[in-house]
Amino acid sequence: MANRLTVLFVLMSTLLSAQTHDRAFWQAIGKNKYAVPEHQSADVLANELSSLLASPDPELRDDLAYSILARWIYRGYLSTPTLIQLTDSWRANLKDGLGETGTNSVLKRSFSALCLSSMAAREAKSPFMGPDRYHQLVAESVSYIQAERDLRGYDAQLHWIHATAHTADLLGALADNPMLTEEEQGAILSAIAARLATAPTIYTQGEQDRLAAAVTSIVRRPDFDATSFGAWLSAIENADRDVWTATTVESLAHYQNRTYMLQALAVHLALEPDSPRVVDYRQKVLAILHNR
C-alpha cells in the first residue's frame, strides 16, 4: 500500500507541476528568503524547478532553480516521497546525453549532479534514501565523473557549466556518510585520479580544488586506510614520471591538473584539525609536491 501511495503521490505532483510559473514568481521566492509561497506546495513546485535545471538561461537554472531546491532540501520543506522521486530523476539525468560535448545537454547532467550533492548532504544528516539507493548513487556518481566529456567551466552565455566541480561536490557529500564502504572510498579516489588523467586541457575554474575537497572528505573519515591513501598518492606521482622526457600537450595538462589538485589538497589538510593521521597525510602530499 505504501508503494502505491508513493507512486500516486509522484504522479499527482508531476501532473500538477505541468503548471508553469514565470520568472518573477521564482525571483519573489528568493527575495522572500526562500520561503514556500503561501497556498503553494513545495513538493509540486520542486518538480517544476527540476525541469529548469536544463535551462540555458543561467538565472533560471542556477540562481533560481538550483538555489531554491538546495535550500528546500536542507530546510526539510520537501516530503520523503518527493526527495526520493527527485533523487531518482536526477540520477537518471546523469546519463541523458552523456558523451556529447559542446551542447546544452551537459546543463541537465551537471546541475542534476549539483542538486544530488544537496541530497547526499541531507542523507548524511537525515537519512531518507535507504542503503540500496545510496550505494547505487555512489556507483553512478563514480561512473559519471569519469564518463563526462563536456568539461567546460564558465561560459560567457551559459555561465556556470562546471560538471567536474559539481560532481566533485557530490562525491564529497557522499563521502561524509557513514554508509560509505572502504571499497567505495577507493572507487572515489580512483575516479578522481582517472578524471585528472583524462581531462584534455588544464582546468581553470577551480575544479582541482573541488576535487581536493572531495578527497579530504575521505581522508577525514575514521575508517579510512592510510595505506590505501599512500598507494593512491604514489600512483599519481608515478603517472607523471615521464612528463619531462615524453612531453605532449596532453601529458602537461594532466601533470598540471594533478599538481594543482595536490596543492589544494595540502591546503585543505592544513585546515583540518591536527591529528597524527592528518599530519602524516599532509606530509606525504607535501613530499610529492616538493619533488615535482
Give the range among 5-14, 51-60, 221-230, 280-289 with minimum mean pLDDT: 5-14
Contacting residues for 169 by C-beta, under 8 A, at least 6 apart: 113, 114, 117, 210, 213, 214
d(CA 66, CA 49): 8
Residue 155's φ and ψ, nearest 5 degrees, are: -120, 140
Q: What share of the chain in percent tops pLDDT 90?
A: 88
Contacts of 162 (CB under 8 A, 6+ apart): 110, 114, 152, 153, 154, 205, 207
pLDDT computed for residue 17 by the predictor: 46
Q: Is the pLDDT of residue 139 over 70?
A: yes
Read off the pLDDT band of 11 (50, 70, 90).
Answer: low
Q: Decide if pLDDT at 218 tops 90.
A: yes
Cβ-contact 214, 172 below 8 angstroms: yes
pLDDT, tens only, 93-133: 999 999 999 999 999 999 999 999 999 999 999 999 999 99
Place of cell 499527482: 12
Domain extent listing, the chain: 1-180, 185-292
**Beta-carbon contacts of residue 250 (< 8 Å; ≥ 6 apart):** 200
Q: Model-level pTM?
A: 0.92
Residue 145 near residue 164, CB atoms below 8 Å: yes
